[in-house]
Structure 1
Amino acid sequence: MRGTLIKITAIAGLALAATAVYFSLDGASATQDATELASIEAGEFSYYPAGDYLRNGNPVSPAVRNMRFEHGFQMMKRQVSQAEYAACVSDGACKALDKAQRAAVAPDLPVVGVSWRDASAYAAWLSARTGHHYRLPSYAEWVYAAGSAYQEEAVVDVSDPGDPAQRWLLEYKIETQRQATADEDPQPFGSFGVNPAGLSDMAGNVWDWTDTCHTRQEVDQAGNVVMPLGENCGIRVVAGKHRSYISDFIRNPKGGACSVGVPPSNLGLRLVRDADGKGGNAIQSPRSRLGIS
C-alpha cells in the first residue's frame, strides 16, 4: 500500500461489548443477527486527517485535529469473512470475486480483493438481511476505534518545502522498509492481536475500506485549511498498518475507463452498525500546530 505516511495517537478510552441481537422486521419471523460487535464509547481523540495538503503549491503537513464523538458507535470485531461474503454472492446481492479469489469461502479468513463498490454492496445486503443499518466507517471512526493498535512511522516536514523530491525520497525509504517485512497472505482472525476495544487485526496485513473520500486542501502557515481544492470520491482512504489511498476499481472495461482493474489482494472490509442512522456524530477542530502527513 502506498500513500501519505502519518503517525496517529488516539487518546480516548474504549470499551468492548459483543452483541447478538434478535429482531423482527415488518412482521417477519425473528432472525438472529450473529454479527460480533465492539462498542466504541463516546469521547475525544487527536489524529492527522487524510488528504493532500498544500501551501503555495507545495506539499506540507496538516494540522493535527481534535475530534469528539458525541455518541458511541459499534464496529465489527473482525473483518468480513470469505464465507460471509460468499453468502452475499450466493444471494445475488454481491459481485463474485475475481478468479484468483473466487473459491475462497473460509469462515476464519478475511475476504480480500473487494472494491469499494463490493464493500458497499455487502453493507446494503447485510442491512436488508438483518434490519440493522450497516455501513463502511469513516476514516476518523476507524482510527478512533483502532486506538494504540494503529501506529505509523512518520515523514517529517522537509527542510526545503520548495523541493518535493526531498519528501518523495523520505516516503520511498519508509515504503521499501515496509515491503521488505510484508506478510502477503491473509491470516486467520486474531493473528495480529486484539486491541483494548476488542477489535482484532486493526494493524494486520489486510486493509479496511473506509467511506472517506480523498481530498486536497490549501493550508496557511499554521497548517489550518484556508481553501478546499477538491474532493475525489473515486479514490477512498483505506486503513491498515498505515493509511493509503485506493481507487475504486471497476471490473467492466466499458464503464471503468482508467479505473479498470482488480482490487488489491489484501483489501477487505469491516462495518459500523448505526443505532439511529447517525453514526458517531463526530465534531472536529484543528489545533494551531503542524502535524505530520
Structure 2
Amino acid sequence: MHSLIQNRPAASNASLVIPTALIAVIGVALGLQSGLFHRPAPTVTVPMTLSIEPRAFEYRPAGEFYKNGFAVDAPKAEVVRAHTLSITKFQITTAEYDACVADGACPVRESATESTDNLPVTGVSHDDATAYANWLSEKSGAVWTLPTDEDLAFAAGSKFPDDALGVDPDSKNPALRWLADYRREAERKASRDPAPQALGHFGEGEYGLADFGGNIWEWTTTCNRRVLLQETAQEVEGASDCGIYIASGKHRAPLSSFIRDPKGGGCSVGTPPDNVGFRLVRDDRWFARLFFAFR
C-alpha cells in the first residue's frame, strides 16, 4: 500500500505531461500544415532592420513612482538582454504607412507631409501604428510589433534620455521636487523647426539606430504606470493604464492611444512632443507566427 501511495504523484505528473506534449505536437503539426512556420515571400517593401546584439545596460523604467507619499525618480537597474533585437533602423515612412492606407488596412494619417520614402510618418495614433504593424505582418510573412520603452532604450544606447530629477528620494521637502521639475521643463523647449525631417537628419546612435531623439517621439507598447515603492526601492504596488502609452524621444511622454497630434492635447504632464510617429521590432522567435495567427 505504501509503495502505491508513493507512486501516485509520479502517475499524476505523467498524466499532465502527456496531454501537454500531445497538444504541443498537434500545434506544431497544424503550424507546419498551414505554413505558419514557413515565411512566405513578402508582397510589400520590408523596412530596413538592425540587429542589436545581447548586452547588459542600465535602464530607468517609465511611469510615475512614489515613496512615502512623495513623487520620486524611478530606480535605475541593470537589465541583461539575452537575445538579439531586430528593430527598424529608421522610423516608418509616409510612403510605407500610406501603402497600408491604400490597402484599406490603416486609417488616413492627419499630417500633411508628402508621401515619400524619405520622410517619417507623423499624425498617427497608437491604434494606427498597431494597425500598420498587423498589416505588415500579414504582408511580409514576419511578425512585427511596436517596441517597448525598454527596447528603445536598449537600441538607442546613449541617445536614450535619463529623465531623473536627481532629488533625494528620502527628502520630505516637496519644494526640491517642484524646483527640479521646473528646471527640467524649462530645458524642454519646443524645437525651432518642428517639421519632420528627412531620414538620417538627426544622425545615429552607437548601435546604428537612426533619428532617435530628434523631433519625432515614438509610440511604444509600454503602458503608463503608477508605482508605490518600499524603503528598499522595491515595488509595493503598481497600477497600469493601458489606455495611455509611453511615447519615447527627447523625453518620455504619456499619451492616450487615440492621440495623433500631441500638441492638441493628450500629454498628461509636461512639454508635449513636437510630433509622434513609430518604428517596429521584428519578432524572430520560431513560434511568433503561431501566436500571431491565433491572437
TM-score band w.r.t. shorter chain: 0.7 to 0.9
Q: Is the 8 A contact 1:43 1:69 kept in 2?
A: yes
Aligned length: 244
As a proportion of its length, which structure holds more strand?
Answer: 1
Counterpart amino acid of 1:50?
A
Long gaps (5+) in structure 1: 1-23, 252-257, 280-293
Q: 1:265 Cα deviation (Å)?
A: 5.8
* 1:39-118 equivalence runs, <5 A: 39-98=51-110, 101-102=111-112, 104-118=114-128
Q: Which string of whole-angstrom CA distances, capped at 9 and with x for unpartnered residues, describes residues 230-258 of structure 1? A: 1100111111112221111268xxxxxx9
State which of 249, 266, 288 in structure 1 corresponds to 2:258. 249
- In 1, the alpha carbon distance for the partners of 2:163 and 2:85 equals 28
Q: 1:171 Cα deviation (Å)?
A: 1.9
- In 2, the alpha carbon distance for the partners of 1:28 and 1:181 equals 43
State which of 155, 168, 175 in structure 1 corresponds to 2:165. 155
Change (3 A) 1:245 1:182: farther
Long gaps (5+) in structure 2: 1-34, 267-271, 289-295
Question: Over aligned residues, Cα RMSD in angstroms?
Answer: 2.8
Q: 1:66 Cα deviation (Å)?
A: 1.5
- In 2, the alpha carbon distance for the partners of 1:195 and 1:124 equals 28
As a proportion of its length, which structure holds more helix?
Answer: 2
Higher relative contact order, chain-length normalized (CA < 8 Å, sep 6+) = 1
Change (3 A) 1:56 1:179: same
- In 1, the alpha carbon distance for the partners of 2:71 and 2:198 equals 39
Q: Is the 8 A contact 2:50 2:208 kept in 1?
A: yes
Counterpart amino acid of 1:212?
T
SS in 2 for 1:144: helix
Change (3 A) 1:61 1:151: closer
State which of 205, 218, 227 in structure 1 corresponds to 2:215. 205
Aligned pair 1:128/2:150, yes or no? no
Larger Rg: 2
TM-score when normalising by structure 2: 0.74
Q: 1:212 Cα deviation (Å)?
A: 0.4
SS in 2 for 1:39: strand
Q: Is the 8 A contact 1:60 1:161 kept in 2?
A: no
- In 2, the alpha carbon distance for the partners of 1:153 and 1:55 equals 17
Change (3 A) 1:156 1:106: same
Q: 1:63 Cα deviation (Å)?
A: 1.8
Paired position in structure 2 for 1:272: 281
- In 2, the alpha carbon distance for the partners of 1:206 and 1:103 equals 14
Paired position in structure 1 for 2:229: 219
SS in 2 for 1:183: coil
- In 2, the alpha carbon distance for the partners of 1:34 and 1:27 equals 13
Q: 1:222 Cα deviation (Å)?
A: 2.7
Q: 1:34 Cα deviation (Å)?
A: 3.4
Counterpart amino acid of 1:243?
R
Percent of matched pairs sharing the same residue: 39
TM-score when normalising by structure 1: 0.75
